[in-house]
Amino acid sequence: MPIATPEVYNEMLDRAKAGKFAYPAINVTSTQTLHAALRGFAEAESDGIVQISTGGAEFLGGQYNKDMVTGARALAEFAHVVAEKYPVNVALHTDHCPKGKLDGYVRPLLAISQERVDRGLNPLFQSHMWDGSAETLKDNLDIAAELLALAAAAKIILEVEITPTGGEEDGVSHEINDELYTTVDDALRTAEALGLGERGRYLLAASFGNVHGVYKPGNVVLRPELLKDLQQGVAEVSGKQDPFDFVFHGGSGSTEEEIATALENGVVKMNLDTDTQYAFTRPIVDHAFRNYDGVLKVDGEVGDKKVYDPRSWGKLAEAGMAERVTLACTHLRSAGTRLK
C-alpha cells in the first residue's frame, strides 16, 4: 500500500480514537531504520507512523552539509516508493521542531507540500510537529495558529506540544519537575486559540509527567489519568465529547497499565525512539563481539568480508528493530487493525 493519503490518515486517527488504540510513531534516521519500522508494522498487521526529528533529518542530509530539509525530503521520497511493497498504511511525520528551527525545517517542508497539493498531488508529509514548549503558552499558541492555517491548506495535520516534556531530545531539554503536567486551563486556552477541528485538525502532546530518554521503572511519575480531566474540562465548555487527539511523548519504559490508561483517555499516537534505537544497535554489537576476528583485521590478518559486509549485520539490526516495533503495536492495541 502507498503512503497514507490525507483522507486515509484522518480515517486511521478516527479509528484509533474510536477503538481506543494508538499508532506507534517510530523515529527513523536512515533507509534501513525506515525498512525496520515498515517491516514491524507489516508483521503486526498494523498501520503506523514514521517520523523524522530535526537531528534525524540533519543526519539524513549527510555529514557534508547536514541540511535538514534535504534529509527529510529525501527519506520521504524514498518512503513513497518502498512503502508500496508493505501491506499497511503509513503516515510520514516530522518530530519535535522548536522555534529556532521552524524556518529551516517545518516551514520549507510545508511549502513543498503546498506546491505538491497545488499540482493536484498529495502532500509529501502527512503531519508536522511544532514544539513550542520552551515558549510562553501565548507565544506557543500564536505560532501554532499560524502553522495550523498553513498545514490545513496543504492537507496536513499539525501536532502541537503546549507544555514541557522532561528530559532532552535533539538539544531541547526541560527539567523533570511539577511543571510537567498540563492543566485544564492550558487545554482551554489551546481550544480557544486553535479551535477543535474547524480550523484544521491537530494532535495535542499534553504533558502528564512524560520524560524523553531512558529511565528505570519508578524514576518517572506518569499520570495518564490527567488526560481524562483535560478532555472533560474542555468538553464541559465546548459541548464536544473527547475533543482532543492526544500524543504520548517520552513513552520508553512505560508500564502496560500506564499505556492502557492513556489509550482509554484519547491517546492515538505514541512516540518510540529510545527503545527502537537500542533494538537496532544491540544485534550489531552482538555480531561484532561474536565475529571479532572477522570484523577487524587482527594481527595482520585480512578479516572476513562476509561478516564485515554491512549487509550481514544490517539485516540483524533491521530484524531486531522490527521486532520491537511489532511489540509496540501489541502494547498499543493497533496490531491486527490495519485498514484493508
Per-residue pLDDT tens over the stretch 80-100: 999 999 999 999 999 999 999
Catalytic residue among 95, 170, 186, 273: 95
Kindly give the interhelix angle for 106-118 and 68-82, rounded to the nearest 10 degrees: 50
Q: What is the pTM of this model?
A: 0.93
pLDDT tens digits, residue range 146-187?
999 999 999 999 999 998 654 445 554 444 445 678 999 999
Tell me what percent of the chain is helix, strand and coil, each rounded to the nearest 5.
Answer: 50, 15, 35
By the 10 Å C-beta count (0-12 exposed, 13-18 middle, 19+ buried), 301 is classed as exposed
Range in 49-58, 154-163, 245-254 with the lowest mean pLDDT: 245-254
Phi, psi (5° rounding) for residue 52?
Answer: -130, 120
CA distance 124 to 5: 10
Q: Taking the mean position of all CA atoms in its chain, how far away is CA 126? A: 12
Exposed/middle/buried for 261, CB within 10 Å: 0-12, 13-18, 19+?
A: buried
Q: Tell me whether residue 95 is one of the annotated catalytic residues.
A: yes
> Which phi and psi (to 5°) does residue 316 adopt?
-65, -40
